[in-house]
A and B are shown apart, each in its own frame.
Chain A
Amino acid sequence: MNNENVKTADNADMNHQAVPMSAQEIARAVIDRKSLFILDVRNADAYADWKIEGTQINSINVPYFELLEGVESVLPLLPDNSPVLVVCAKEGSSKFVAEQLVDAGRDDVHYLEGGMKAWSEHLEPVKVGDLKDGGELYQFVRLGKGCLSYMVLSDGEAAVVDTLRMTEVFEKFAKEKGARIKHTLDTHLHADHISGGRKLAEESGADYWLPPKDADEVVFSYNPLEDGQTLTVGNTEIAIQPVYSPGHTIGSTSLVVDDQYLLSGDILFVASIGRPDLAGKAGDWAGDLRSTLYETYRSLSEELTVLPAHFGQLSELGEDGRVSAKLGDLYANNPGLNMEEETTFRQAVTTNLPSQPNAYQEIRRTNMGLIQPDDEEQREMEIGPNRCAIHDK
C-alpha cells in the first residue's frame, strides 16, 4: 500500500499560501491510493449526500459558515503530517477557509479548484486494452459519480459508448488520437446522468444510436441500435455487436466489441447488477433482467471482459482505476449472478432498493429531449452518486 502523501510543498514559500489542487490530481490520488485529508466545508446535508471518497482519504465536515469568526476550532482536528484539502461546492468558500488556515499557521493547505462541480465532471481516461487489428479501447472513469464511458479507436475512427455530458473531453481525446468520431451509442436511456451522446454526435458529424425500445417518447431522430447489426470502426472493421439485454430498461442493449469485450451498460456491474425500477416498472422488468443475466449472458463466452457503465464502490476500481472483470469470474463471484431461486432474485431486485439517483425523472426526460435544462441546471440534476445497482447505498 502506498502511503506517500499526495502533494507536499516543494519549497518553503508554498507553505505560506493556500495551493489549488485540481480534480485530476485528486483523481490520481484516489486511483493510486495516496493519503489525503479533506476538510469539506459544504453544509451537512450536501456532505451526507455525496463526498470525495478513497481508500486512503479521510474527511471531516465543518460548514464554512461556522468558520466565519475564525478557524481555531478546526485546527486541532487536522492531522499534522498530511496535506489538508479544503473542499466546497464551487471553490469560493474552500479558498476562503484555506486562506484562513494558512493565516492561522497551518502548513500544506490546498483547496479544490472548481469545487465539487469540477470533481463531479472530471473524467479520467484509462486504457483497457488493444484490439486485435491494432485499435484501442479506453474507459473514461467519472470518479465523482461512478459513471463509465468508452471509446473504441481504430484506424483514425472512433465510437463512443455511454457518452457523458462533458462532450469536450471526448472530442479532445479523439483529436489527440487523430480519430474522427463516427458513432456515439447509448446502451440504454440513462436515468442517473445526462447523456452526451446526441450532442457529441451533432458536434462531430457522427451517427447517434439508441435502443428503439427505450426511445418511445424521444423527440429527436436516432439510429436504432438493434440485435444482429454490426457497427464498424476503422478500416480494420472492429466489430461492435449489439446484444438485446433488457432488465434495467426494456431497451437495454449490451455491446460485444472485437469479440473480446462485453460493454454491459447498466445490466451487469462488477460487484452488483442493474436495478429494474427506475422507469417505475420493476415488477415487469425483473423477469427480463433475470433472463438476460441467467440465460442471454450465460450463452456468451466466459472469457469476455465485462465493462459496465457504472461502479458503485471504490473496491471495484482495479489497477490504474480501471473497472472490469472476466464474465466467468462474475458468474463465480457476483452476488447478483448467484441467486438460484427465481423468487429470491425477484425479491432482491424489486424490494429494499437504494433510493433513486438524484432528479432521475427529470434526467430521463432530458435524455428523451422533452426538457432542455441549461448547463447549471444539468449540473445540479447530476449531483450525487449514480445508484443504478441493486446493492448501492
Chain B
Amino acid sequence: MNIDVRVDTKGMACPMPIVKGKKALDGMQQGQILELLSTDKGALNDFQAWVKKSPNEWISHEESNGVHRFLIRKG
C-alpha cells in the first residue's frame, strides 16, 4: 500500500496524536493514505471512534514494540 503522508506522534500524549492526524488529513486529497505512528495506548480507541465519525476510512492498525501504526484513507 502506498503511503501518501506519514505523521509521527511517538512520545506525544493525547490529544496531540489526533490533533496532528486531523491536521494532516485536512491537507490531503480524497483517497490518499495517512500513516500515523503513536506510542499512546489510549489513542487506539479514540482514533477508531474518531475515524468512524468522520468521512475517512479506517484501514488497519498494528502494534509492535509499543508503537501503534494506523492507516487511514482520506474520505
Contacts and interface: CB of A to CB of B under 8 A. Distances in A.
Interface of A: 42-46, 63-66, 68, 88-90, 92-93, 96, 376, 380
A385 to B, nearest CB: 19
Contacts, number: 44
Given A43-B49, A65-B46, 9 more contacts: A44-B49, A46-B45, A63-B50, A65-B49, A68-B15, A90-B13, A90-B42, A92-B13, A376-B41
B36 to A, nearest CB: 13
Contacts of B61: none
B15 A45 contact: no
Contacts of A92: 13-16
Interface residues on B, range: 10 to 19
Which label, helix, strand, loop or mixed, suits the secondary structure of the A interface? helix
B28 interface: no
Contacts of B41: 376, 380
A215 B12 CA distance: 41
Contacts of A380: 41
A380 B40 CA distance: 13
A45 B19 CA distance: 20
A39 B1 CA distance: 40
A93 B49 contact: no
Interface string B19-41: 10010000000000000000001
Contacts of B22: 65, 68
B46 to A, nearest CB: 5
B18 to A, nearest CB: 5
A64 B14 contact: yes
Contacts of A46: 45
B42 to A, nearest CB: 5
